[in-house]
Structure formats: structure tokens, C-alpha cells
Chains A and B, each alone.
Chain A
Amino acid sequence: MITAKWFLLAAALFYFGGAMVAAAAYVRARLSWLARGEALVGAGLVLHLLACTTCPYGAMNLQHVFSLLAFVMAAIYFVLRLFRRIDGLPLFLFPLIFCLSLVALVLPQEAGTGPDLPHLLFLLHILVVIAGIGGILVGILYSFLYLLQERALKTKRWDACPSFLPSLAKCDSWSIHSLWGGFALYTLGIGLGVVWSAVRKGVFVSGSLKELAALIAWGVFAALLGIRLKTGLRGRKAFLLYTVGVLSILAAIAGIRVF
């Protein structure tokens, strides 16, 4: 019987194939190959969807979180792709999607211990939070591309920099838009979690460590974005601070099993 794990394994293989083809496309400067890489990742996305639909409904553990994160990031890529080609991003995003799906595969599969009712609201809360994290991760990836481009320009070897790297302005613009979009979704996800808590437990905030961790993480990221608004923070410092922000969010989510 084909279980969710087999679908996820197949998806991970396609993600791996897509990542390799995308890397070859950029390294060999044959950007026409990128479409093949995207097709492989697209096929992986479809298989991943099957994996998600065959997993025990309502169960939510670390494995599911990583799996969903991989799925959401792949989905975000194709949504963005509808509007324009995203130079340079597949080179880093596809391997990240593969790594996340690989982590989901190797993590021990736990029996469904998630909350039972109401499933839909809880599922929505989780999906939106993960979509938010996906957007934030895309923003950080662009921030990393900004760093690469900045380094090439500062060392005056910008002509040796791969031509697929977007301009500094584009990297910055896409980074900050993705960060804001991801943060907005994360905020919405937290809001949905508050509503779910009210429906399930009768209180909006129960004061659990898990909720506190999530709110602290939200606050840290909000502060970072505020600093960016006020001072225009860019470059290496910005990348490090955003990474700290997203790690705090991921720690809050990973703490689900601890808390």
C-alpha cells in the first residue's frame, strides 16, 4: 500500500532532480534547462500534495511541519513564477526544498497526537503560519543573493559574478517584499491560532510556553522589520538579523513537541 511516506520519498527525489538540473543550468549558463528543473520540482510538488492528502488527518508533528514547509515553499515559487522569471532563486531555493523534504523523511514518524477538533481551523492556522515562514525564508534567500552581489561589487569582481544574479536593487526589493509578505501571513496564522484556541479551550491566549514562544518570535521579527523601515538596514547585518528572526520562529515551532 502506498503511504504518505512513499509519496514524500518520490517527491524528494524529484526535488533533488530539479535542484541538480537548476544548478547545472546556472553553472553551464544554459538557462533553457531551467524549465526542465522547474518541471521536475513541479512533479515533486504534485507527489507532495498526494503525500499531504494521504497523511493522517489532524496529526501535526515536526515531520509534518518540515514536509509542509517544503511543500509551501515550492508552491510559493510557482505562484511567483506565474508573474515573472525569478533570476537566481531556483539555484538556492530548490536545494532548500529538497533538504526540508529530506529532513521530513528522516525524522521519526510519530503517531497522530495533534488536536482533534476543530480540524479545519487548526489546519488553516498551521498552513498559514507555514506559508508565512516559507515567505520569510524566500526573503532571506534573496537577502543572501544580495550579500553575494554586494561582495562581488565591493571586491570589484562584479564582472566575474554570474550573470544570473539579480541586481542589488532587485535582490533587496524582492527580499523585503517577501519578508513583509511572509510576516503578514505569519501574523495571520497566529491570529487564526488565537481564534482556534478560543474555540477549543474557551480562552484566546492560554499562556502556554508554546504560545509565548510564538509571540516572542513574532515580536523579534516585527522589531527587525521596524528597524529596516526606520534605518533602511541592508547587507550582512540585515541578513544576520533576519536569520536570527526566522530561527526564533522555527524554534517556537520546533518547541511544539517540547512544550
Chain B
Amino acid sequence: MWMLGLLGLNHTTAPVEVRERFAVPSADFVQTILGLVEEGRITGGVWVQTCNRAEFYYAADAPAEEVLRDCFAAAGGLTGEEAAAYLYLKTNRDAVRHLLRVVSGLDSMIVGEPQIFGQVKEAYDLSLQAGLSDPLLNELFQRSFATGKKVRTETGIGEGAVSVSYAGVALAKKVFDDLGALEILFIGAGEMAELALLHLKENGVWRIKIANRTLAKAEELAARFDARAHPLEALPQLLPQADLVLSCTASPQPLVTAPMAAEALRRRKHKPMVFIDMAVPADIDRAVGAIEEAYLYTIDDLKDVVERNLAERQRRLGTAEGMVDAEADKFMERWASLRVSPLIQEIQAHIAALQRQEMEKLMKRNPGFSEEQVKAIQYYSTALLNKLLHAPMTQLKAIRPERHQQQMIRKFMGMEEK
């Protein structure tokens, strides 16, 4: 547990064509890594692969970058030289900090995106199952998950929709709360409608009607998404039942006028309606937005929302980075303590063994000692040794010696070097 390292590439260092090559690491790569663990070149590793990054986090007792670099390149079918242009290597604190940033969503293409958290967790679980776990990596990844949650909760860096479709869904939730109970009306059956339908379906919407000038097209789209098709002429009858109206047609004139919307609201007893107009020129008369209980948004409005949210996330980035730095420092402190614990245990075991040896010699030379006398000597020698060891052990915990220093201490104590 003397070294933590990270070897990888991401969306800032490699184009998507290169990242794609690492989508699934080859079976050879996994076997090679297991071999390196068996040889003791590394003590454990976690492979994190998403559409925007491929990274290998490892723990080792000695530097292992050279051999890992070649393995990593081979995983993507590249040579070492080809991969060198895209790879980055980070060690110790830099590697720790990088992982904390990744899990907190600070290293993502869209800052604060939530998916990376689950992806890293899954990668960690897979490495545990593959027998690539290591106590130090376990400690690091558990710390990273706690940090990720803390950063997201305290800075709110993941809040706010950052894509137009998410913004549309978020808007609908602000009005209606439960999307599953909504009735959605699509006006138009083109590509935009299809994309929006996909997204809404993912969010639990199932009562969908599609109105289109060409009924056959509406029916085709409706069949694919388990919706109902209607001709455009039925719009005045369909509007009162619709909670959310999305429109994207090539109509040169507005299809939904203000009087039509007002009548629809009157018939549904002024239950709110949301209109999202994705068409240019407008499908929905802008005067609809002035009607109470009618909420009209254009695609530009949703884009404005996305831009504001992205800017807000950037603003919160500074605070989040500060938190990550603080957590990285805490982990380094903890790691230093973990490194010295085995030495302390070794010294205590060594002293205890010496004490046992001397007690045995004493018993052989003095067979007439009573049980009470033996116990008294045992008690006295233990107390003396604890007293003698107290100051050195305290100092060891404070100074946290490096590996070569620990070797010197072992030599000094007459212990076997490691």
C-alpha cells in the first residue's frame, strides 16, 4: 500500500473514436491484470469505463506504470506509442483527487452529471467480484462515494436541467408533479416529436395523443409508442383533455390560437396547461402565454434555462473543488496512518516474542518460582516494555515514516527487513 496510481484517457485527451476502442476491455487485459496482482506488481485495481473515459486505478507497493501503460494500450488495441498521446498518469494525491473529482461529477463533460456516480460504483463492484480488491483501494473508493454525495448535496452542483429535453420534463414536473397521470398531446409527427416521445416515455408518461395533418404518419408514430393518432382537425376537441401540449410542425400559421386555448381551459375548469412550442414559425399563438393557467414555452426559452443552469453549475464549481481538495487531504492523512499501522504491529509482536523467549529462559533457570512470582515477573516486564515502547510508538504515528525509513527502523530493532 505504498502507491496509488491512475492511468487513463478521457473526453479532454482523446477523441471519441479512440475512447470507443476501450469500451470493453479485452479478456486478455483482465487476465494480464490478474497476473500482475499474482506477481505482486500491483496489489489491486479498478477499471472505470464510460462513454467519456477509460481509467485504471491501481494500488502497488512499487511503481508499475511502465508495464501498466503497455497493458492499457493493448486493451484498446493500440501500441504504447499510439496510446502515449492520449494517456495521462497520476499518482498518490493527484490520483486520489482525480477520483474524488470524477465521482463528484466535476470532471464530466456536463459538470455535475449524476450518471458517473453509479458508473464508478458499478466498476468498483465488478473489481471486487473479479478479486481485484485491495484494502487501500477499498478505502479510497468508499471515501470517494461519500465525498461525491457530500459535494452534490452541499453544493447542489447537479441541480437544474442541462439539456432541452430534461428542461422540458423538469418544467412539466414543476407544474404537474406526477408525469404518469398526464395526458400529452403532440401536434406533428416528425423527428422532434419522436425524440420528445422517447424522453417522455422514459419518464413514465403513457397517455399520449398525436395529431397530424397526415393521419397515416401520426398512426405510424403512435403504433411505435403505444399512443393514439388523430387528424389535425380534431385539435379543438383534443385540447381540453391535454395537460401538456408539444408542437412541432411546418405550419406557416399558428395552429393553436388564444381563443382556442381559452376555450380549452374553460372546459377543463382552468386546470393548468403547459404548451411547448418547438416550431419556427410558431405553431402556438404567443398570446396563449398571457392566459391565466396557460404556460407557454418556446425552444429558446428552454435553451435559456439550460444555459442558466450550466452557468450556475460553473459558479458552484469553485466550492465543490475546495471540498474535494479537503477530502483528498483527509484521505492522505488516513493513508499515512494506515501505512504505519503494520510497522507498529510488527514491533509490538517482535517485542512480545522477545519477552516470551526471556520468560522461558527465566523459568528454566529458576524452576522453583511459584505461580504468583511468575505472574508478578510477567506483569512487571509487560508494564516496563509498554512504558518503553509508548514514546517511540507515539512518535511513529506522528512522523509516519516512508518505506525506506521503515526498513531502517526494522534494522534498528533487529527485525527482519521487508
Task: Give residues in A with beta carbon < 8 Å to B.
Answer: 29-30, 149, 152-154, 156, 158-161, 163, 166-170, 231-236
Contact check, B271 vs A161: say whether CB atoms are below 8 A apart: no
Question: Which residue in chain B gives the minimum CB-CB distance to A235?
Answer: B292
| Chain B contacts for A166, CB-based, 8 A | 177
- Give 9 A-B pairs besides A29-B156, A231-B269, A234-B272 with Cβ atoms closer than 8 angstroms: A153-B174, A158-B171, A159-B308, A160-B308, A167-B175, A169-B177, A169-B272, A170-B177, A232-B268
| Chain B contacts for A30, CB-based, 8 A | 154
Q: Could you list 15 examples of A-B contacts with CB < 8 Å?
A: A30-B154, A152-B174, A153-B295, A156-B297, A156-B301, A156-B304, A159-B309, A163-B159, A167-B173, A167-B175, A167-B177, A232-B268, A234-B292, A234-B293, A235-B292
Query: Knowing A29-B156, A153-B295 touch, does A159 contact B305 (C-beta < 8 A)?
Result: yes
Contact check, B176 vs A168: say whether CB atoms are below 8 A apart: yes
Question: Which residue in chain A gives the minimum CB-CB distance to B172?
Answer: A167
Question: Is B80 interfacial (CB-CB < 8 Å)?
Answer: no
Question: Is B77 interfacial (CB-CB < 8 Å)?
Answer: no
Contact check, B271 vs A232: say whether CB atoms are below 8 A apart: yes
Q: Which 5 A-B pairs have the closest CB atoms?
A: A232-B269, A167-B177, A232-B270, A168-B175, A159-B305
Chain B: minimal CB distance from A43 (Å):
27
| Chain A contacts for B271, CB-based, 8 A | 232
Question: Is B161 interfacial (CB-CB < 8 Å)?
Answer: yes
Q: Describe A's contact surface by its main secondary structure.
A: helix
- The answer, among B174, B268, B289, B304, for a CB contact under 8 Å with A168, is B174
Question: Is B63 interfacial (CB-CB < 8 Å)?
Answer: no
Report the tally of A-B residue pairs with Cβ distances under 8 A.
Answer: 57
Chain B: minimal CB distance from A5 (Å):
42
CA distance A168 to B274 in the complex (A): 11
- The answer, among B167, B295, B305, for a CB contact under 8 Å with A154, is B295
| Chain A contacts for B289, CB-based, 8 A | 154
CA distance A253 to B269 in the complex (A): 33
Query: Knowing A160-B308, A232-B270 touch, does A149 contact B174 (C-beta < 8 A)?
Result: yes
| Chain A contacts for B269, CB-based, 8 A | 231-232
| Chain B contacts for A154, CB-based, 8 A | 289, 295
Residue interface mask B288-326, A partner, CB < 8 A = 1: 010011010100010011001100000000000000000
CA distance A161 to B171 in the complex (A): 11
Question: Is B84 interfacial (CB-CB < 8 Å)?
Answer: no
| Chain A contacts for B175, CB-based, 8 A | 153, 167-169
Chain A: minimal CB distance from B350 (Å):
48
CA distance A231 to B154 in the complex (A): 44
Contact check, B270 vs A159: say whether CB atoms are below 8 A apart: no
CA distance A236 to B292 in the complex (A): 9
Chain A: minimal CB distance from B110 (Å):
15
Chain B: minimal CB distance from A33 (Å):
12
Contact check, A159 vs B293: say whether CB atoms are below 8 A apart: no
- The answer, among B174, B272, B301, B304, for a CB contact under 8 Å with A161, is B174
CA distance A167 to B178 in the complex (A): 9
Contact check, B270 vs A231: say whether CB atoms are below 8 A apart: yes
Question: Which residue in chain B gives the minimum CB-CB distance to A29?
Answer: B156
Residue interface mask B159-183, A partner, CB < 8 A = 1: 1110000010011011111100000
Question: Which residue in chain A gives the minimum CB-CB distance to B271?
Answer: A232
Chain A: minimal CB distance from B159 (Å):
7
CA distance A168 to B177 in the complex (A): 8
CA distance A115 to B167 in the complex (A): 61
CA distance A161 to B159 in the complex (A): 12
| Chain A contacts for B173, CB-based, 8 A | 167
Question: Which residue in chain A gives the minimum CB-CB distance to B306?
Answer: A159
Contact check, A158 vs B174: say whether CB atoms are below 8 A apart: yes
Query: Knowing A156-B301, A159-B160, A163-B159 touch, does A235 contact B176 (C-beta < 8 A)?
Result: no
Select the residue from B161, B289, B293 with max chain A CB neighbours within 10 A. B293
